[in-house]
Amino acid sequence: MRHPLIEEIEKPYLKDKLPKLRVGDSVSVAVKIKEGSKERIQKFDGLLIATSGTGTGETITVRKISSGVGVERVFLVHSPVIDKIVVLSKGKPKVRRAKLYYMRKLKGKKARIVYKAEK
């Protein structure tokens, strides 16, 4: 249990319009990137393999295969640097673990997640 005062202090820093993020979801994270004085948005699409933390410290780990190499990035969900998070997959991911670290060992057809239609 966290102290109620911590929750109150964090409240103004939390995003209120976040989609429901579940481990196993396929997500697209839009990150703001500063280049000199210009700002652009870069997308990172992949599989959400882990969530961690609560409040302002909440993070998600997203994994994707980029040119045959597995790449994982950890995003601070409530950070102002994160422009948007979109859930791409439809339905409930059929996973039995809270952390999908076993995906690191799988590739090709085995590295798929089945999604069940939600009632």
Partner 1 sequence: MLGLLAKKVGMTQIFDENGDAIPVTILELLENVVTEKKTKEKTGYTAIQIGANEASKEEKLSKPELGNLKKNNLPLFRILKEFRVSGEEVEKYELGKELNPAEVLGDNGCLVDVTGRPIGRGTSGRIKRWNQHRRLMTHGTKHHRQIGSAGPGTTPGRVFKGLKMAGRDNEDITISKLTLVKYVPEQKALLIKGAVPGHKGAIVSVKPSNKKGEWNRNALLIGKRKAA
The set of long-range contacts for 14-17, using a CB threshold of 8 Å and a minimum separation of 24, is 14/55, 14/56, 14/78, 15/77, 15/78
Backbone angles phi, psi at 102, to 5 degrees: -65, -15
Minimum Å gap between C-beta 110 and partner 1 is 36
Q: How far apart are CA 119 and CA 36, in angstroms?
A: 48
List 76, 87, 111, 113, residue binding partner 1 (CB under 8 A): 76
Residue closer to partner 1, measured from CB, 9 or 88 = 9
Residue closer to partner 1, measured from CB, 12 or 68 = 12
Minimum Å gap between C-beta 1 and partner 1 is 11
The amino acid occupying position 66 is S
Minimum Å gap between C-beta 52 and partner 1 is 13
Can you tell me whether residue 116 is helix, strand or coil? strand
34 contacts partner 1 (rule: CB under 8 A): yes
| Interacting residue ranges for partner 1, rule: CB under 8 A | 2-3, 5-6, 8-10, 13, 32, 34, 36-37, 55-57, 76, 78-81
